[in-house]
């Protein structure tokens, strides 16, 4: 062995144990990060507010109330410090309603914000719930008009028929499963990807000068980015754990926003529903 090669071997033998000792024992601690769990839900009072809404049965029925209690117990494992809900950020209507609920002046309605948000907040002794929704345009009619003008209406109708079939399948799933099982299904990675895919398929309708589908995507992205921003405004320390309860149509978009922030750790329902 040459002298230079021997020197290299001696150097490596001296350096490698030192490197090994530094990893991971002497590594600096990982900074604390705020945790956010975005819970995608169906509208339990079924007002038909979005494309992904199901024909919900009566959540006030004793069987469903017992199932709601199961969901609450699962969410408690996340130990949320704050609960954010799908309500206009500029309105104090929902926080006032929650205060009335705490004071015994309001009975819970079928609304998922109350059945999940209010009930959990009360059990955790939270003083308020946080409205974080932002209004926005959803120019779907432009997509419809573009499809008509370019002889693509059949194609768009087929996509909407698929969406209708998907909603019906979700409805059938709910009627044969518990609320917790349904929410786990709706919040699964595969289901979230499928839901987001419908928006992107609609986003393909357009051309230079008339970006109908792209503008639809941009408006939806902007609304969800504003919701993300509203949630971040209530994160006051890296020790916060914020539960965000929103219609499932927002789920994939909000997950993407929070996952993109290195100061935030994204959590999922499946981690706490064992």
The whole-chain average pLDDT of the chain stands at 90
Tokens of 142: 């432009």
Percent of the chain that is helix, strand, coil (3-state, to 5): 55, 10, 35
* Lowest-confidence segment of 9-18, 45-54, 138-147, 198-207 by average pLDDT: 9-18
Q: What pLDDT does 22 receive? A: 52
User: For 65-78, how does the pLDDT look when each residue is reduced to its tens digit (9 = 90+)?
Assistant: 999 999 999 999 99
**What is the number of other CB atoms lying within 10 angstroms of the CB of residue 272?**
15
State both tokens at 33: 């990060």
> Residue 145: what pLDDT?
97
pLDDT band at 180 (very low <50, low <70, confident <90, very high): very high
Backbone torsion region of residue 46, taken as left when φ is above 0, otherwise alpha when ψ lies between -120 and 50, otherwise beta: left
Exposure string over 168-207, b if 16+ CB within 10 A, otherwise e: eebbeebeeebbbbbbbebbeeebbeebbebbeebbebbe
Contact by Cβ (8 Å): 237, 31: no
pTM exceeding 0.75: yes
**The pLDDT value given to residue 122:** 98
Closest CA to 230 of 97, 113, 127, 86: 86
pLDDT in tens, 36-64: 999 999 999 875 555 556 657 899 999 99
Looking at residue 13, its pLDDT comes to 47
What is the predicted pLDDT for the residue at 71?
A: 98
**Domain-by-domain residue ranges, the chain?**
34-271
Please give the residue that has the higher pLDDT: either 40 or 21: 40
């Amino acid at each position: 062995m040459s002298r230079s090669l021997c020197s290299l071997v001696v150097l490596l033998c001296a350096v490698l144990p030192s490197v090994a000792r530094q990893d991971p024992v002497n590594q600096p601690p990982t900074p604390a990060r705020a945790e956010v769990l975005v819970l995608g839900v169906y509208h339990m009072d079924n007002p038909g507010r979005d494309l992904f809404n199901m024909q919900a049965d009566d959540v006030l029925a004793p069987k469903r109330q017992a199932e709601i209690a199961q969901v609450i117990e699962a969410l408690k494992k996340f130990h949320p410090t704050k609960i954010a809900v799908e309500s206009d950020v500029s309105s104090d209507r929902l926080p006032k309603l929650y205060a009335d609920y705490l004071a015994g002046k309001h009975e819970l309605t079928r609304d998922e914000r109350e059945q999940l948000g209010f009930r959990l907040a009360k059990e955790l002794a939270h003083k308020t719930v946080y409205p974080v929704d932002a209004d926005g345009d959803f120019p779907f009619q432009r997509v419809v008009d573009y499809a008509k003008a370019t002889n693509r209406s059949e194609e768009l109708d087929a996509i909407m028929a698929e969406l209708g079939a998907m909603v019906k399948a979700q409805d059938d799933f709910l009627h044969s499963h518990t609320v917790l099982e349904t929410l786990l299904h709706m919040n699964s990675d595969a289901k979230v990807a499928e839901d987001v895919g419908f928006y992107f398929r609609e986003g393909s309708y357009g051309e230079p000068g008339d970006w109908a589908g792209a503008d639809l995507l941009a408006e939806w992205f902007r609304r969800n980015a504003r919701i993300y921003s509203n949630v971040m405004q209530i994160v006051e320390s890296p020790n916060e754990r914020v539960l965000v309860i929103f219609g499932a149509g927002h789920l994939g978009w909000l997950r993407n926003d929070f996952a993109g922030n290195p100061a935030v750790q994204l959590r999922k329902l499946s981690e706490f529903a064992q």
